[in-house]
Amino acid sequence: MDEFGRGRGRSKKYWEEHGGSTNAFTSSEHTNFYFDINADCFEEALDRFAQFFVKPLMSPDATTREIKAVDSENQNNLLSDGHRVYQLQKHLSSKDHPYHKFGTGHIIQYHLLGFSDFVIAFVILLFCNWDTLEVRPKARGLNTREKLLKFYKENYSANLMHLVVYSKDCLDKAQTLVQSIFQEVPNTNRSYSPVTDQPCKSEHLQILVRAVPIKQGHSLRLEWPIIPDLTHYKEGPSLYLSHLIGHEGEGSLFYILKKLGWATSLSAGESGGGHHFSFFEVYISLTDAGHDHFEDVVALVFKYIHLLRQAGARKWIFDEAVNVQASVINRIEVLRTFFWQGNEEKRNNHLVKWEEMNISKKIGGVSVRNMKFQNQSLMMKWLLKFASAENSLWKEVIAAKYGMRDKWMTTEVAFLYGSSVWRSISDLWDLVLERSYCKVGNVRWEMAERWLSGWTNGVDKFH
């Protein structure tokens, strides 16, 4: 516990009891910690938040717990095509650039944990696994926790931190509050030298990479290193290009590819990077025919880009792209105000029953789609795939990690160290069994009923 006697469990309970939440994430250049809470508890919550940076717990148990969580996340990423391609892209970049380093856990989120655990999780910058963070260091006589504390003291300095406070208080009161609470955050005057080099040089460009995915299907990714939109945020060149290249209307690139039977979806936009480097990506989901003609697909992409160059930038297109995004934001704001009473100070009960929100407008509802059942249906499909798959690598990995039960499903997934994705999927197994039935041969039901009565003493075992 810290000087306020707040351990991990108490910290979590505090945020839950006051309508709040805590979270954090890492990007290529910074770590971000944040929280929200009811307005009447904001001052105390801000004080608690500050203490995690003034005197973080960094206990041995918490260190081990976070290493296991990182290991679990890495194991989960092994089955993610997105993370695998991301790591492949890093591997193909310059070895002299930090971007080349291992880091498949590029964005990891921890919901409603104590911020002291956040600090531990994100001080471990290279998201590796149990072997690299625990086994190998011990074999070399190294103490992971001591290295962790050393890294924290050397790098978590107040002069490198930025704080944003958003509350109902006036600026003068907010400033006084911040100065009194955060003045004890250690300041070691740590210097920071940004990496301005590009991760991809000439020898890393114009290459073709073929990769076998975990998930069935075909996809095509085209990536170019670009100057980040942050440096041209007023003009938004990536926004402009993503609006045109990713357009799905008649005459668009996707329209042609779909008409040819080569693609089922297309997206485009800025991807990854930071203040000094970034990438522009065109991602296309291909059909079997599209996979056979992938070179023709690439040619069409470049022909379309050439067409855009010839046409030049048009203001009306830029305005259209901006207005489309603005209209979506405005609609969300209207819905939020209507459903949640428009109160930003605390969380309120919404004004409309969820049952009525899901009903069609034609009969007096709001026509908000209930995604719960759709999500459950999609997850159930993976359960059926797992039960019926044979000689599948992804099934073998999951079965080896969690063990098997009933020959059809894995054992229960531990809350902290197991994959949250597979835990959510496996929790639906009983629901699948309740709605499953067995068919014996090709006999009629009357015959099956007689067969049952003789062997099961009249008890129907079929559903």
More confident residue, 138 or 462: 138
Residue 181 is predicted with a pLDDT of 93
Q: How far is CA 59 from CA 13, 64, 120, 246, in A?
A: 19, 9, 9, 48
Q: Taking all residues of the chain, what is their mean pLDDT, rounded to a whole number? A: 77
More confident residue, 70 or 1: 70
209, 92 Cβ separation under 8 angstroms: yes
Residue 302 is predicted with a pLDDT of 96
The proportion of the chain whose per-residue pLDDT surpasses 90, expressed as a percent, equals 21
CATH 3.20.20.450 given to domain 8-182: no
Tokens matching residue 388: 């019926």
pLDDT at 66 over 70: yes
Residue 438 is predicted with a pLDDT of 58
State mean pLDDT over 186-195: 86
Domain spans of the chain, in order of start: 8-182, 217-313, 372-454
Tell me whether domains 8-182 and 217-313 share a fold: yes
CATH 3.30.830.10 given to domain 217-313: yes
Residue 378 is predicted with a pLDDT of 79
Residue 225 is predicted with a pLDDT of 92
State mean pLDDT over 213-231: 89
State mean pLDDT over 129-149: 82
Highest mean pLDDT among 175-189, 308-322, 351-365: 175-189
Q: Any idea what the Cα angle at residue 456 is, between residues 455 and 458, rounded to 5°?
A: 110
pLDDT at 219 over 90: yes
pLDDT at 446 over 80: no
Alpha-carbon torsion 250, 254, 255, 256, what sign?
positive
Q: How far apart are CA 296 and CA 301, in angstroms?
A: 9
280, 270 Cβ separation under 8 angstroms: yes
Residue 351 is predicted with a pLDDT of 61
More confident residue, 430 or 20: 20
User: Which pairs with CB-CB distance under 8 Å and at least 24 residues apart come from 136-144?
Assistant: 144/63, 144/67
The proportion of the chain whose per-residue pLDDT surpasses 70, expressed as a percent, equals 74
Residue 110 is predicted with a pLDDT of 37
Alpha-carbon torsion 251, 254, 244, 201, what sign?
negative
Q: How far apart are CA 23 and CA 108, in angstroms?
A: 10
pLDDT at 74 over 70: yes
**Least confident piece of the model among 218-232, 329-343, 435-449:** 435-449
Convert the pLDDT of each residue in 234-282 to its tens digit: 888 888 888 889 988 888 999 999 999 999 999 999 987 778 889 999 9
Q: How does residue 291 score in pLDDT terms, banded at 50, 70 and 90?
A: very high
DSSP run (H or E) holding 409 = strand 409-410
Residue 3 is predicted with a pLDDT of 37
